[in-house]
Amino acid sequence: MTLPLPQAVKGETAAERLQALGLELPHLDGNAYFVHHRAVGGSIHISGQLPYKDGVLLGQGVVGRDVDLETGKELARHAVLNCLAAAVQAVGDLDRVRIVQMLVFVASPADFGLQSQVANAASELLIEVLGEKGRHARTAIGVAGLPLNTPVEIQMIITAV
């Protein structure tokens, strides 16, 4: 068994830790076909988010074929920032967000086998920003393709604390 990652980023609040990382939550545009979040009982379901930044999809292709592992990890970090933005829309403040579960889809060849390493980049960012509230149950799945030929898509379930 390995020890959990320590939270190494300094800051009193999640917003301060995000800023210390040189990151900010993006603005999420509305969509006619789906909502970015939906509350059901005490859970809030975050729709699958792609690695958009400023309205631009940051990458296309298949991790392990068209996209290298490090780029896949960076794209996962962008996708999880979009998830956090949706979470803030839902609960109003980043410090009220607790991640319950994260599902990471990685477009990859059948023999890739490193989907969990792509997902680790997103998990690490959540822990850096949210501390213990960022630790979560997780599934990383390799898929043949994703919307818009994106390499990574992330979906979450959160609660408000």
Contacts 24+ apart (CB under 8 A), 74-77: 74/121, 75/51, 75/118, 75/150, 75/151, 75/152, 76/51, 76/104, 76/106, 76/118, 76/119, 76/121, 76/122, 76/152, 76/154, 77/121, 77/122, 77/125
Q: What is the pLDDT of residues 55-114, one digit of tens each?
A: 899 999 999 999 999 999 999 999 999 999 999 999 999 999 999 999 999 999 999 999
Fold of 16-21+36-160: 60s Ribosomal Protein L30; Chain: A; (3.30.1330)
Q: What is the pLDDT of residues 65-80, one digit of tens each?
A: 999 999 999 999 999 9
Domain boundary assignment for the chain: 16-21+36-160
Neighbours of 145 (CB within 10 A): 10
Neighbours of 92 (CB within 10 A): 11
Neighbours of 34 (CB within 10 A): 10
What average pLDDT does the structure give for the chain? Answer: 94
Between residues 50 and 30, the one the model is more confident about: 50
Q: What is the pLDDT of residues 112-148, one digit of tens each?
A: 999 999 999 999 999 999 999 999 999 999 999 999 9
Question: What pLDDT shows up at residue 6?
Answer: 60
Contact 119, 76 (CB under 8 A): yes
Question: What pLDDT shows up at residue 151?
Answer: 98
Model confidence, pTM? 0.93
Query: Tokens in use for 113?
Result: 């086998």
Question: What pLDDT shows up at residue 38?
Answer: 96
pLDDT at 1 over 50: no
Q: What angle do CA 97, 155, 69 make, to 5 degrees?
A: 110
Tracing tokens 């298949």 back to the chain, one arrives at 62
Question: What pLDDT shows up at residue 30?
Answer: 87
